[in-house]
Structure 1
Amino acid sequence: MAGRTSRVLRGHGRGRANVTTVGTGTDWAAWQESWDRQQEWYMPDREERFRVMLDMVEAFAGTAPRVLDLACGTGTITARLLARFPEATSTGVDLDPALLTIARGTFAGDDRVGFVEADLKDADWTAALPYDSYDAVLTATALHWLHTGPLTALYGQLAGLVRDGGVFMNADHMTDESTPRINAAERAQRHAQMDRAKRAGALDWADWWQLAAQDPALAAPTARRFEIYGEHADGDTPSATWHASALHAQGFTEARAVWCSPSDTLLLALR
């Protein structure tokens, strides 16, 4: 069953956290690839965004950084981090049991990587982390699941985790409501491209989760995932200006966009 699923997917300070080996018969690389393709359907310039993110990691933390991969999902950022910086270490934190299953399967046996299951809305989630501080905290396409109140509180917690001179970077949908006509035109053009790709066989969010629910290694964690989140969390997408202001207010010294597309922004905050 795992082999058949894999072929379908390819078509379309306190020590280390434990890394768990799961589902040794499952092709985790195929699941990683299919997740990337699904996400690229929404964000075709996703890899460029990651490249700039890692450029900034190197600029502020060198080539052997200690990184917190926040709301890590399948470990997308961690995979790119270690490919570029083999001496880096990464702690991935997420609540999604299905995506964490893929991440743990992908990095099983790699002592540079650890994963923590935690809810970022919990006041004490940082207590589960293996280190007291990080050179860089990185996140992508995740924090829009939070409303601005919990997000502001999270930014305050991150200010306590990032070392002096370290960085936090958030790559996400950041909407400027002051430009409604530009927003509408960009959205229409982007969705036309997405429709064409869908007709050519691209997987969307719902398609991908349907496949995950059919895989023996992912069926149970996928069911738990939908019990936790439902179809999709109802968060906020404030502007890059809002994010920068909130980060300043929570203890970061500088904050601004270092990359943007018509719909997304990579915002960097310096501690």
Structure 2
Amino acid sequence: MTETTAPDTAPATDWRAWQDSWDRQQEWYMPDREERFRVMLDMVEAFVGPAPRVLDLACGTGSITDRLLKRFPEATSVGVDLDPALLAIARGTFEGDERVSFVTADLKNPQWTSALPHDSYDAVLTATALHWLHSEPLAALYGRLGPLVRDGGVFMNADHMIDPSTPRINAAERALRHARMDAAKTGGAVDWAEWWALAAKDPVLAEPTARRFEIYGEHADGETPSAGWHSGALRDAGFGEARVVWASPSDAMVLAVK
């Protein structure tokens, strides 16, 4: 795996370097991360075409938006998140790009959709973020997403989705994955805690990083329900169809169509 190094931060922060370092850190946990993004954008194109209005849900640094615009230059994206540090990187990365805007909002707040600039979206996309929520608030969030997706539009969530009925498969996959992560770590890969330690030392990111930990703590105590649970919850939220369209041994991506 490619070694991750601290981005240069003289006199102005290099936002693209931070964006890239976030990607490398996430790939340490998910080496198939780009494949899930590819399938996600394939399904966007299949359902709503090459110029969609997208809501990048729990957008973080804007990883989905970055890939969306590279593949579909006529797309537009609204990123929504609560994390002040990751939003700072996202806003810095896309500064001056009129196709992109960002909204600070708490997805657990029942009124969060009122902060959005549009009433409906062709696609709502999220990846490796909603496992920060427990099942009950996640189901409530899905209920609020239903009205945001236009008829014929899609919602996709790529995340950790654990099947509790296969404990031996789960344990074997986890053991191999962690052995490979350990090997990459000895080669210099930066993990979650180390990445945030680097952010805390950056002159520009230090303050929003401190605020981020005031909001979330070290890590939120969420859940990873099965893909079947997600599909059922999305149908209950008003989507006509929902099923897995991509899966790895530990993760899955559920697509719901309105």
* TM-score normalised per structure 2: 0.97
- Three-state SS of the structure 1 residue aligned to 2:162 is coil
What pairs up with 1:1-271 in 2 under 5 angstroms? 8-9=5-6, 25-271=12-258
CA shift, 1:250, in A, is: 1.0
Change (3 A) 1:214 1:10: closer
CA distance in 1, matches of 2:11, 2:220: 31
CA distance in 2, matches of 1:138, 1:24: 34
Kindly provide the CA deviation profile for residues 181-230 of structure 1, in whole angstroms up to 9, marking residues without a partner as x.
00000000000000000010000000000000000010000000000000
CA distance in 1, matches of 2:11, 2:63: 20
RMSD (Å), alpha carbons:
1.3
CA distance in 2, matches of 1:66, 1:106: 19
Stretches (4+) displaced over 6 A: none
- Three-state SS of the structure 2 residue aligned to 1:38 is helix
CA distance in 2, matches of 1:24, 1:84: 32
- Three-state SS of the structure 1 residue aligned to 2:110 is coil
Structure 1 unmatched ranges of 5 or more: 1-6, 12-22
1:4 maps to what in 2?
none
Kindly provide the CA deviation profile for residues 122-168 of structure 1, in whole angstroms up to 9, marking residues without a partner as x.
00000000000000000000000000010000001000100000000
CA shift, 1:24, in A, is: 8.4
CA shift, 1:25, in A, is: 1.4
* TM-score normalised per structure 1: 0.92
CA distance in 1, matches of 2:164, 2:5: 40
Kindly provide the CA deviation profile for residues 50-78 of structure 1, in whole angstroms up to 9, marking residues without a partner as x.
00000000001100000000000000000
CA distance in 2, matches of 1:154, 1:227: 23
Change (3 A) 1:31 1:160: same
CA distance in 1, matches of 2:27, 2:242: 27
CA distance in 2, matches of 1:28, 1:116: 18
Contact 2:125 2:157 (C-alpha < 8 Å) held by counterparts: yes
CA distance in 1, matches of 2:87, 2:256: 26
Structure 2 unmatched ranges of 5 or more: none
Contact 1:24 1:105 (C-alpha < 8 Å) held by counterparts: no
